[in-house]
Structure 1
Amino acid sequence: MRLAKPLWIAAVILCSHTLLSAQSTWHVVKTLPIGGPGGMDYITIDPVSHHLYVTRSTHTQVIDPASGKVIADIPGQQRSHGVALVPKLGRGFITDGGGKGAIVVFDLKTNATLGTIAAVPDADGIIYDAFTNRILVSAGDSNALLTLDPNIDPKTGKIDTPIALGGAPEFLATDGAGKAFVNLEDKNQVAVVDLKARKVIARWLVAPGGHPVGMAIDRNRHHLILGCRNPQKMIVLSTETGKVLAGLPIGQGVDADAFHNGQLFASTGDGAMTVAAETAPGKFEVVQSVQTRIGAKTMGIDPSTSTIYLPTMEFEPQAPGATGRRTPKPDSFMIVVVAK
């Protein structure tokens, strides 16, 4: 049947709109079966090599996402949490929260361990701040923010004097101009730290969220993105005033947030990834919920390819009404890959 011209034009417009919508929708494109022993925590992506760095409790895997192969495995940790990369020095840094706490320094080319720096118990979230040229580490049980020079002697060097936070930090971000923002999950606050003065200069409440754990930053718009567990919210907060701009619903068990190309993300352990956006000046809305897999509570985005990676495992079935940690199946570690 041949359509009349107005109907034909309408059909073309509708088809074009459908294609555009499909192209702008995030979805799971594949899953990389990795395996190997150990748990999992944060994932870090090198945007140049595109390698994935995933902490696995007692070791840290380096994975090529193109082949799905483990290209290196860095041993020697008690309870690894996160990885920070400093490409200009050819170094990587792994937080080890076990025992008295440590930071493992490794070579980015060979993935060989260069040394281990003594830290404090529960060394956890870790990032590199180029403005201050410091590695920053949150230490929850120690209620402290740690800093160290990335050019430190990996065998004899020492961390800077810890900055007392007055609460238990989880993750952190920096504004690129000398301030750090740190989640205090036990205080329902964000601590604002002047890195030059080495002290907390403000404390911002995160209500209507609570128990903030995940954090990301949009430096251009001066927004913090927080993942809160109780109540379950994605909080958008102004880095200029501390004012809460939005509180959006998310799933259970959030552990990471991200920002990319104007969109805000929260990954949760119940197997959902919330995507939000500023749909009008000062107005934020959830625009999509991507079904990933149970346990996929942390994530990392490769900004150069707009690809999101979420580590998880297969888990044993839970009894009806059961709560708490799920039991992972042996050798079931995988990475869920999400793209548009």
Structure 2
Amino acid sequence: MKRSTFCLLALSLLTASVNAQSGYHLVKTIHIASPGGWDYPASDPGSNKLFLSHSSQVNIVDKTTGDSVGVITGTTGVHGIAFANAFGKGYTSNGRTNNVTVFDLKTHAMLGQVATGKNPDWIMYDAFSKKIITSDHSAGSLTVIDPATDKVVATIIVPGTLETIASDNAGKLFVNVEDKNEIVAVDIVKNEVIAHWSLGSAEGPTGLAIDTKTKRLFATCDKVMVVMDCTNGKIVAQVPIGDGCDGAAFDPATKTVFASNGEGTMTVVSEVSANEYKVTETVKTKKGARTITIDEKTHRLYLPTADYEPVPADAPKNTRAKMIPGSFQVLVYEK
């Protein structure tokens, strides 16, 4: 074999090897041809279903094929979806009607509605307390619902504009307070606030994820991710992220944190140790892909967005691009 041929072959093999390890990349785009905006997606850990908040309804698709498997209606201004699999129920936070819709996880039929504080935003199931909790964005409160009865059992006052909640699965909840640039710790057994922790110079916390093993919270703020010790509120690291982030996700198997940035990127952060973090990738996504969820079984990431019309050259400063009707879609990434 000639030396030049050998070199070309070696270069080709090296390139193939690099491409095979090229990091997180787009593997599928799921198109959903219906109008309206969106907020948080949610991957059901008990099934192969992906639930997508979409204006006044929730679209349900098969995570593998992307095929539609159902729609939940009557969820006006829906923000998020939570799953109480042990009870066979799902819950949606309906921001415009100030309530939660309860539905059957198998049939998707509505089972009822529960009143909450004003504009329920994030919603989650806490496995420790076996409760559904909403962050009432405009009310400064958390609504606690017992899925056994679908009754409100507590309203916890947390003054401020509330965003994402995370649980340590040991009796404590943590909630981002967007307008006060802090994280509030809550005792979910006593249903009371136990601490207010400043995020320092970081502003506008929205997304929040947690590593329950290292006891670290990951708060996505304006262009920065703050890593905080959830036992004492100490800030242990700050990592740069993209602009317009509204979501965070954590993969406990790979010790990786993700920030979905509305500017059209996804920041991938490696947890080297409990106190050391580094950006390993900045993945190109699409404008508007600001929220995110992860399937911890497959490690796939789901980011909803849409296509946008160009902003007119003579439009006033800060004019938002208009969404193209019917262009709602979900970007699927994996490594």
- TM-score, scaled to structure 2: 0.92
- Asked if 1:327 corresponds to 2:318, the answer is no
CA contact (8 A) 2:117 2:142 kept: no
CA contact (8 A) 2:216 2:274 kept: no
Tell me the equivalent position of 2:113. Answer: 116
CA shift, 1:19, in A, is 2.7
In the alignment, residue 245 of structure 1 is paired with which amino acid?
V
CA contact (8 A) 2:145 2:154 kept: no
Of 107-116 and 62-71, deviating more is 62-71
Tell me the equivalent position of 2:61. Answer: 63
In the alignment, residue 231 of structure 2 is paired with which amino acid?
E
CA shift, 1:159, in A, is 1.1
In structure 2, the CA distance between the partners of 1:177 and 1:70, relative to structure 1 (3 Å rule), is same
- Asked if 1:107 corresponds to 2:104, the answer is yes
Tell me the equivalent position of 1:152. Answer: 149
In the alignment, residue 137 of structure 2 is paired with which amino acid?
G
Report the number of matched residues: 328
CA shift, 1:18, in A, is 7.0
CA contact (8 A) 1:208 1:247 kept: no
CA contact (8 A) 2:236 2:275 kept: yes
Aligned counterpart in structure 1 of residue 228 of structure 2, from 212, 233, 237: 237
Tell me the equivalent position of 2:285. Answer: 292
Q: Distance between the aligned counterparts of 2:64 and 2:190, measured in 1? A: 44
In the alignment, residue 327 of structure 2 is paired with which amino acid?
S
In structure 2, the CA distance between the partners of 1:27 and 1:41, relative to structure 1 (3 Å rule), is same
CA shift, 1:41, in A, is 0.5
CA shift, 1:38, in A, is 1.7
Tell me the equivalent position of 1:212. Answer: 205
Q: Distance between the aligned counterparts of 1:69 and 1:199, measured in 2? A: 43
Q: Distance between the aligned counterparts of 1:191 and 1:197, measured in 2? A: 15
In the alignment, residue 53 of structure 1 is paired with which amino acid?
F
CA contact (8 A) 1:63 1:70 kept: yes
- Mark the runs of 5 or more structure 1 residues left unpaired by the alignment: none
- Mark the runs of 5 or more structure 2 residues left unpaired by the alignment: none
In the alignment, residue 150 of structure 1 is paired with which amino acid?
P
Aligned counterpart in structure 2 of residue 227 of structure 1, from 206, 213, 220: 220
Q: Distance between the aligned counterparts of 1:336 and 1:126, measured in 2? A: 22
Tell me the equivalent position of 2:91. Answer: 93
Of 310-319 and 62-71, deviating more is 62-71
After superposition, what is the alpha-carbon deviation per residue over 1:162-211, rounded to whole angstroms, capped at 9, x for unaligned?
10112221111010000000000010000000111211111111123211
Aligned counterpart in structure 2 of residue 192 of structure 1, from 170, 185, 192: 185
Tell me the equivalent position of 2:240. Answer: 249
- TM-score, scaled to structure 1: 0.91
CA contact (8 A) 1:34 1:68 kept: no
- Asked if 1:134 corresponds to 2:121, the answer is no
Q: What SS does the aligned partner of 1:88 have?
A: helix
Q: Distance between the aligned counterparts of 1:21 and 1:278, measured in 2? A: 23
Tell me the equivalent position of 1:143. Answer: 140
After superposition, what is the alpha-carbon deviation per residue over 1:285-329, rounded to whole angstroms, capped at 9, x for unaligned?
110011011111011111111110111111111235742543111
Of 188-197 and 317-326, deviating more is 317-326
Of 158-167 and 112-121, deviating more is 158-167
CA shift, 1:65, in A, is 2.8
CA shift, 1:282, in A, is 2.1
In structure 2, the CA distance between the partners of 1:284 and 1:150, relative to structure 1 (3 Å rule), is same
Tell me the equivalent position of 1:304. Answer: 297
Q: Distance between the aligned counterparts of 1:18 and 1:280, measured in 2? A: 31
Identity %: 38
Tell me the equivalent position of 2:176. Answer: 183
**Equivalences for residues 254-269 of structure 1 within 5 A:** 254-260=245-251, 261-269=254-262
After superposition, what is the alpha-carbon deviation per residue over 1:14-42, rounded to whole angstroms, capped at 9, x for unaligned?
96797377436101112111121221110
Q: Distance between the aligned counterparts of 2:215 and 2:303, measured in 1? A: 26
In structure 2, the CA distance between the partners of 1:238 and 1:21, relative to structure 1 (3 Å rule), is farther
